[in-house]
Amino acid sequence: MAKSSGIAGGFYVGGYDLSGDVGSLENASSPRGTQDVTGIGQSGMDRLLMLGTGEIGFRSFFNDAALAEHIILKTLPTTDTQVVYAKGQAIGDACAMLVAKQINYDPSRNADGSLEFAVTASSTSGVPLEWGLMLSAADDTHSSAGSSSSLDNGASTSSGAAGYLQIIDINSGTPTVKITDSTDDSSFSDLIAFTAVANGNEPAFERKTVSGTVNRYVKITTTGTFSNCKFIVGFRRGESTDDVAYS
């Protein structure tokens, strides 16, 4: 691994690709509360970690074209959405992933005439922000059932995983998107199978988890009869230090 910039990233909200309309990532945070349990006989603070949360803040440019940011974000839906920031556009690039509610859509018209909107998404599903790796190269399109290139994580892990899917578009049919894993980068088995989505029901998004062993190599596989399914997938391996095990 090496130092790198934030040039050529991706930004996805609820199955919509807003990469061309989002100008900056303001924050991707996962703060933890603390409880002060310092005893009277101690000379320094003693704290316990409490509940975690997550937040992604970003700024967008005004665009009222179909499927662009103003049409998607102006409604401030009361239901959950999914926000994924991809640092780059290659398999294995880091990504921040969050199931959240959009809590604002605040415009500012600056003195130079520019117009921007500040947007914040806050976690709502009991899961804080998760950092993972992209299994799709920004967004991928499978013209029919098949597989993307695999990601080598160097070793297997034993604490489960979480997968994030956003389906942007389907030309026809009903694809099922899966995350599969392998010990040898040759023979792959299903690890996480997302809910099948039929043409006409996109955009769609889902977060799913699995417990136990996750093998060294992982990749995306699609099954079913369909044409041109465009999607993104982010992936996080669980850690032994996680507060709540994946189930």
Looking at the DSSP bridge assignments, the partners of residue 146 are 222
192 has pLDDT over 80: yes
**Do 9-33+50-133 and 135-241 show the same overall fold?**
no
One of 1.10.10, 1.20.1740, 2.40.30, 3.30.590 is the CATH number of 9-33+50-133, namely 2.40.30
Domain ranges of the chain: 9-33+50-133, 135-241
What is the Cα–Cα distance from 193 to 233, expressed in whole angstroms? 12
What is the Cα–Cα distance from 167 to 165, expressed in whole angstroms? 6
What local confidence, expressed as pLDDT, does residue 243 receive?
Answer: 67
What local confidence, expressed as pLDDT, does residue 247 receive?
Answer: 56
What local confidence, expressed as pLDDT, does residue 172 receive?
Answer: 98
Q: What is the mean pLDDT of the chain?
A: 94
Given the DSSP bridges, would you call strands 47-52 and 32-36 parallel, antiparallel or unpaired? antiparallel
The residues, ordered by sequence, that sit 6+ positions from 147 with a Cβ below 8 Å of its Cβ are 180, 188, 219, 220, 221, 222
What is the Cα–Cα distance from 125 to 129, expressed in whole angstroms? 10
pLDDT in tens, 76-121: 999 999 999 999 999 999 999 999 999 999 999 999 999 999 999 9
Cβ distance 124 to 134 under 8 Å? no
CATH number of 135-241: 2.60.120.1110
The vertex-153 CA angle with 149 and 157, nearest 5°, equals 125
What local confidence, expressed as pLDDT, does residue 3 receive?
Answer: 86
The vertex-155 CA angle with 149 and 158, nearest 5°, equals 110
**What would you report as the CA-atom Rg of the chain, rounded to the nearest whole angstrom?**
19
Conformational region of residue 157, where left means phi above 0, alpha means psi within -120 to 50, and beta covers everything else: beta
